Amino acid sequence: MDKGVTMEILLTNDDGFFAPGLQTLFEVMVKSPEDTVSIVAPDSQRSASGHSITLFDPLFVTEHPLSGSGYGYAVRGTPSDCVKLAVEGGIVPKPDLVISGINQGPNLGTDIFYSGTVAAAMEGVLAGIPAIAASLASFDFTDFEPAARWLAKHVTNITARFSTGLLNVNFPGSPGDEWKGVRVTRLGRAVYENVFESRLDPHGRRYFWQGGTLIPETDPDTDVAAIHAGYVTVTPMHSDLTDYKKLEEWQGRGAGTFE
Amino acid sequence: MDKGVTMEILLTNDDGFFAPGLQTLFEVMVKSPEDTVSIVAPDSQRSASGHSITLFDPLFVTEHPLSGSGYGYAVRGTPSDCVKLAVEGGIVPKPDLVISGINQGPNLGTDIFYSGTVAAAMEGVLAGIPAIAASLASFDFTDFEPAARWLAKHVTNITARFSTGLLNVNFPGSPGDEWKGVRVTRLGRAVYENVFESRLDPHGRRYFWQGGTLIPETDPDTDVAAIHAGYVTVTPMHSDLTDYKKLEEWQGRGAGTFE
């Protein structure tokens, strides 16, 4: 996709249509006159929704007009529903690029499995559309503009070099001039301790709160370690969870061992 | 894990604690006197929940006594919540093996991203525990016993050869004596057409139903094709979505292109 060719860019997220991370990204992206920027995003907070989709309830869609030539829709559904609807539902032009975010909070390492932000981007990839998942790795730092500018600057570069697949980008929770640079990383492991706290409700029934404290990752090649060292992390991801090593080994022996 | 050593086996699913696929699997598995079989499963239907987890609501847990020496808990949460709670919450002994299912309906190809059944098994893998996701590839055929017997028969074999990682097993929706055999497969693509149906509610508001018709997969090496040909499919899966080919290429060039 050369610059000069109009791109249809779809923005989505899991924090909801009006979340500052998404709105800031839109405001920055829409300044590029050659691209059309639309938003199809959940109508409410859907963090930790993973790759869930809505099969047994109707998906209601509310239009929110946007500046520029794109369309804005809030969907009573999950992030993946939104991308499916944008790609297959005919409500917006079929996107050339999906950007999911900018999420408030990190999406790193094995935690990406729980992430609605990453799932929405993956939904683009499953439909053959390159996608970026973008996250600000802090729950306190709320200036999304440096991250949005970084994304706008690199969109052409990224789509040109990344015609298929997913790019998972995390930004340090600090002003842009404090970032140490950019690291291309692999997914690390996000391991927590003290994950559950057990309590009794006023009726004496036991319940659990899920949370926990992240145990620092020691491998410096991982996204988890690089973000803690102050770098923007760029992690290329694919969509095939087949274990080919085991597959070859087992097919070599024949499937007979399972008969 | 040699037979003769007691295994702590955790069963879970996304169809809910009392779903016939899970209860039949339990009844078959509990007959092995050297293993302890527990159930920690959602208290209600959670199909298509993907890898979502519950961070902002309490997780209530109800005990349902089981035959045998294991524990039974229904959780007001997602499949992944259940496995996390079983592994980290101290309510059951830490499992040596997680089996998620037997699901009513297939979990094949790229559809595994939406699957609560597969996500629960993956949650075991993320905690370092081998796991099996098991599905009966039919919404109509409801005799889970042949599939449960197959799993019980192969558990030792599978855990011995599969000390880490996930095994995604799908059974044809037909009596066991009609199965054509077993195929070790890779994940195919599950592509649908006519995914959304647009309707107006009685108040004139537009909504969409998500559904669609599966387009047949032509590559015979895939799970999607093999199940349609009448085989039990066994697909080895891993938990790392890093695209190492791109990672090496980009690290070789230096991250400078993203600066």
Minimal CA separation from A28 to chain B, in Å: 18
CB-based contact B251 A184, cutoff 8 Å:
yes
Q: Is the pLDDT of residue A217 over 50?
A: yes
Beta bridge partners of B233: B170, B183
Residue linked to tokens 């339990």: B26
pLDDT band at B1 (very low <50, low <70, confident <90, very high): very low
CB-based contact B58 A196, cutoff 8 Å:
no
Q: What is the pLDDT of residue B33?
A: 80
CB-based contact B208 A61, cutoff 8 Å:
yes
**Which of A71-75, A152-156, B188-192 holds the top average pLDDT?**
A71-75
Q: What is the pLDDT of residue A254?
A: 57
Q: What is the pLDDT of residue B2?
A: 45
Q: Is the pLDDT of residue B257 over 90?
A: no
Lowest-confidence pick of A154-158, A166-170, B94-98, B174-178: A154-158
B240 is in an annotated binding site: no
Q: Please, which residues have CB within 8 angstroms of residue B56's CB and are 6 or more apart in sequence? A: A47, A48
pLDDT band at A32 (very low <50, low <70, confident <90, very high): confident
Q: Is the pLDDT of residue A147 over 80?
A: yes
For range B92-116, the mean pLDDT? 96
pLDDT band at A50 (very low <50, low <70, confident <90, very high): confident
Asked if omega into A9 is within 30° of 0 (cis), the reply is no
A63 touches B at CB < 8 Å: no
pLDDT digits (tens, 9 = 90+) for A181-198: 999 999 999 899 989 999
Q: Which two tokens stand for residue A137?
A: 């790795």
Domains for chain A: give ranges and CATH numbers. 8-188+218-258 (3.40.1210.10)
A245 with B172: CB under 8 angstroms?
A: no
CB-based contact A165 B246, cutoff 8 Å:
yes
From chain B, the residues in CB contact with A246 under 8 A are: 162, 165, 236
Beta bridge partners of A133: A100, A168
From chain B, the residues in CB contact with A212 under 8 A are: 88
Q: Is the pLDDT of residue B255 over 60?
A: no
Q: From the annotation, which residues of A make up the binding site for a divalent metal cation?
A: 14-15, 47, 103
Q: Is the pLDDT of residue A120 over 90?
A: yes
A232 touches B at CB < 8 Å: yes
CB-based contact B53 A54, cutoff 8 Å:
no
CB-based contact A112 B239, cutoff 8 Å:
no
Rounded CA gap, A220 and A131, in Å?
25
Q: Looking at this predicted complex, what is its ipTM?
A: 0.92
Rounded CA gap, A144 and A195, in Å?
29
A186 touches B at CB < 8 Å: yes
Q: What's CA A126's distance to the chain center, in Å?
A: 14
pLDDT band at A165 (very low <50, low <70, confident <90, very high): confident
Q: Is A58 helix (H, G, I), strand (E, B) or coil?
A: coil
B206 touches A at CB < 8 Å: yes
Q: What is the pLDDT of residue B162?
A: 66
Lowest-confidence pick of A22-36, A151-165, B47-61: A151-165
Amino acid type, B34: E
